[in-house]
């Protein structure tokens, strides 16, 4: 039986470890942190992410955890609503916000119920082990060596395993820098429960009520821009000057409760390859995603479904490497498509934020232009919400052990 070492207990790592262990495989899951609570984690499960959970036999999991169904999407320009599109936008499943911390804790509990899984929290990986040019495990910071027939690297955007394996991250543009704020609940019942994108005075940002009932605010920065040192009230005034009226009133009224901004840098890219003999990268380690439409968690879950399906059929090192190659081949088309769509969406918003005349024309003519703009926007959202058709194995096709992998 092959021995798997999964490095990183984010969505990709936990989901693939769970599926492999349920298939009877020997899995060691290693995570540097001892807790899942993070200030900046994607919580939006698109229909494509919910589809991936269904492949794990967890179609109803999101309803059992703290969650909130997103009501819709709106775009505001210079304080006027250009359009609003309601969920579920023609699909059976609406976008659902689930606190990622609770989702990961639940996946971990299921994984730890499997007798073939070993869980190593609070253990940082220091490097890769090699034998005859093949990766054969990892070394932990405490000196422990953990052998493996295949290492699955799910260690995030700054993946140590990717760098140590000599794989290059081809970046897409300059990346994004944003300020991230949070205003704790409870919030007014009539506050917009959708995802709001705003463009005003050359700035662009978003507002959304999280699964936990907190108001999350993002403000996109120019790359390299400095962040002024302001009080909570001063930041509240800065935000309120750009936000739609209802959000502005809430932020001004509770300025002292507004969190200090956290600066978040997001680099989008694609690894030159996802695998080396004895290694397979998944999730952000293989393809850091833009925050546009929250694709990180959804693509990570879909990576895990394809990877578990093929890896669980392998019996030896050669078959594992062939399976890893197959996983990359199958996942690349969807990842490339999603990153292209994300880039297009971000570029359009950025261009509009730079042209004041265009913004004011849109704002002034929003009653006339808005419905058409909303229809065009909605038509572009299909792949970002649903993923590419046929990207996952058939839902009722359980992995079958075979003598080889073609």
**pLDDT per residue as tens digits for the range 287-296:** 999 887 778 9
**Half-sphere exposure (Cβ direction) of 74: Cα atoms closer than 13 Å:** 21
Contacts of 88 (CB under 8 A, 6+ apart): 47, 94, 95
What is the pLDDT confidence band of residue 41, given thresholds at 50, 70 and 90? low
- Determine phi and psi for 295, rounding to 5 degrees: -80, -15
Whole-number CA gyration radius for the chain: 22
Q: Which of 30-44, 332-346, 374-388 has the lowest mean pLDDT?
A: 30-44
Write down the pLDDT at residue 118. Answer: 98
The percentage of residues in the chain with a pLDDT greater than 70, rounded to a whole number, is 95
What is the pLDDT confidence band of residue 396, given thresholds at 50, 70 and 90? very low
DSSP-derived pairing of the beta strands 269-271 and 262-266: unpaired
What is the pLDDT confidence band of residue 90, given thresholds at 50, 70 and 90? confident
Compare 50 and 348 and report the one with higher pLDDT: 50
Contact status, residue 140 vs residue 126, Cβ threshold 8 Å: yes
Distance of alpha carbon 2 from alpha carbon 35, whole angstroms: 29
Tell me the C-alpha to C-alpha distance, in Å, between residue 277 and each of 13, 402, 403.
19, 21, 20
pLDDT tens track for 252-285: 999 999 999 999 888 899 999 999 999 999 999 9
- pLDDT of residue 170 exceeding 70: yes
Contact status, residue 194 vs residue 72, Cβ threshold 8 Å: yes
Write down the pLDDT at residue 400. Answer: 38
Write down the pLDDT at residue 397. Answer: 40
Task: Specify the DSSP element, H or E, that contains 321.
Answer: helix 317-354
Write down the pLDDT at residue 404. Answer: 39
Contacts of 13 (CB under 8 A, 6+ apart): 6, 7, 29, 31, 152, 154, 155, 282, 283
- Determine phi and psi for 150, rounding to 5 degrees: -150, 130
pLDDT averaged over the chain? Answer: 91
* Number of CB atoms found within 10 A of residue 63's CB: 10
pLDDT tens track for 308-338: 999 999 999 999 999 999 999 999 999 999 9
Compare 42 and 215 and report the one with higher pLDDT: 215
The CATH number for 176-266, chosen from 2.40.160, 3.40.50, 3.30.70, 2.60.120, is 3.30.70
* Number of CB atoms found within 10 A of residue 39's CB: 9
Compare 22 and 345 and report the one with higher pLDDT: 22
- Only one residue has tokens 């879950």, namely 301
* Number of CB atoms found within 10 A of residue 166's CB: 9
- Determine phi and psi for 405, rounding to 5 degrees: -120, 125
What is the pLDDT confidence band of residue 173, given thresholds at 50, 70 and 90? low
Rounded-to-10 torsion of CA 112, 116, 117, 120: 120
pLDDT tens track for 113-136: 999 999 999 999 999 999 999 999
Compare 370 and 43 and report the one with higher pLDDT: 370
In the predicted model, what is the mean pLDDT of residues 4-22?
Answer: 97
Please measure the distance between the N-terminal and C-terminal CA atoms of the chain and give it in whole angstroms.
19
* Number of CB atoms found within 10 A of residue 293's CB: 23
* Number of CB atoms found within 10 A of residue 356's CB: 12
Name the token pair of 32. Answer: 């540097």
- pLDDT of residue 349 exceeding 90: no
Q: Which of 35-49, 171-185, 192-206, 269-283 has the lowest mean pLDDT?
A: 35-49
Q: Which of 238-247, 252-261, 300-309, 340-349 has the lowest mean pLDDT?
A: 340-349
What is the pLDDT confidence band of residue 395, given thresholds at 50, 70 and 90? low
Write down the pLDDT at residue 342. Answer: 87
- Only one residue has tokens 């996946």, namely 107
Compare 154 and 93 and report the one with higher pLDDT: 154
Compare 152 and 173 and report the one with higher pLDDT: 152
In the predicted model, what is the mean pLDDT of residues 189-208?
Answer: 94
In the predicted model, what is the mean pLDDT of residues 91-100?
Answer: 89
In the predicted model, what is the mean pLDDT of residues 104-111?
Answer: 95
Write down the pLDDT at residue 147. Answer: 98
Write down the pLDDT at residue 401. Answer: 34
Contact status, residue 103 vs residue 11, Cβ threshold 8 Å: yes
In the predicted model, what is the mean pLDDT of residues 353-372?
Answer: 92
Domain residues of the chain, as ranges? Answer: 3-67+96-171+268-342, 176-266
| Cα angle 125-128-131, degrees, rounded to a multiple of 5 | 150
- Only one residue has tokens 């290693």, namely 30
Name the token pair of 170. Answer: 């081809």
Contacts of 332 (CB under 8 A, 6+ apart): none
Contact status, residue 127 vs residue 138, Cβ threshold 8 Å: yes
Write down the pLDDT at residue 76. Answer: 96
This prediction has a pTM of 0.93
Distance of alpha carbon 259 from alpha carbon 155, whole angstroms: 28
- pLDDT of residue 154 exceeding 80: yes
Distance of alpha carbon 61 from alpha carbon 266, whole angstroms: 29
Name the token pair of 5. Answer: 């070492």
Distance of alpha carbon 377 from alpha carbon 383, whole angstroms: 12
- pLDDT of residue 159 exceeding 80: yes
Write down the pLDDT at residue 39. Answer: 54
Burial-class residue 247 by CB neighbours within 10 Å (0-12, 13-18, 19+).
buried
CATH superfamily of 3-67+96-171+268-342: FAD/NAD(P)-binding domain (3.50.50.60)
């Amino acid at each position: 039986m092959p021995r798997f070492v999964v490095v990183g207990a984010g969505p990709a790592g936990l989901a693939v470890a769970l599926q492999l262990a349920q298939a009877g495989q020997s899995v060691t899951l290693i995570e540097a942190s001892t807790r899942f609570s993070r200030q900046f984690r994607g919580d939006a499960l698109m229909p494509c992410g919910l589809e991936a959970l269904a492949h794990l036999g967890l179609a109803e999991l999101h309803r059992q955890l703290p969650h909130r169904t997103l009501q819709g999407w709106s775009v505001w320009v210079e304080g006027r609503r250009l359009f609003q599109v309601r969920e579920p936008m023609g699909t059976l499943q609406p976008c659902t916000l689930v606190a990622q911390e609770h989702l990961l804790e639940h996946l971990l509990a299921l994984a730890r119920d499997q007798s073939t899984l070993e869980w190593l929290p609070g253990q940082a990986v220091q490097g890769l082990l090699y034998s005859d040019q093949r990766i054969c495990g990892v070394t932990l910071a405490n000196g422990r060596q953990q052998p493996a027939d295949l290492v699955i690297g799910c260690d995030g955007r700054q993946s140590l395993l990717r760098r140590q394996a000599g794989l290059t991250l081809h970046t897409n543009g300059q990346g994004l820098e944003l300020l991230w704020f949070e205003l704790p609940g409870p919030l007014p019942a009539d506050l917009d429960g959708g995802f709001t994108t705003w463009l005003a005075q050359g700035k662009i940002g978003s507002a959304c009520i999280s699964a936990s009932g907190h108001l999350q605010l993002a403000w996109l920065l120019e790359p390299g821009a400095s962040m002024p040192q302001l009080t909570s009230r001063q930041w509240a005034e800065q935000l309120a000057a750009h936000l739609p009226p209802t959000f502005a009133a809430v932020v001004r009224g509770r300025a002292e409760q507004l969190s200090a901004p956290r600066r978040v840098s997001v680099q989008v890219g694609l690894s030159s390859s996802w695998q080396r003999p004895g290694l397979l990268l998944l999730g952000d380690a293989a393809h850091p995603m833009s925050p546009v439409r929250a694709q990180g968690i959804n693509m990570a879950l879909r990576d895990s479904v394809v990877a578990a399906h093929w890896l669980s059929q392998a019996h030896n090192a050669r078959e594992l490497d062939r399976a890893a190659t197959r996983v990359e081949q199958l996942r690349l088309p969807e990842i490339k498509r999603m990153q292209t769509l994300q880039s297009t969406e971000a570029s359009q918003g950025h261009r509009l934020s730079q042209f004041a005349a265009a913004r004011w024309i849109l704002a002034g003519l929003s009653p006339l232009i808005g419905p058409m703009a909303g229809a065009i926007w909605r038509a572009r959202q299909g792949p970002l919400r649903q993923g590419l058709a046929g990207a996952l194995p058939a839902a009722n096709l359980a992995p079958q052990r075979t003598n080889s992998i073609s």
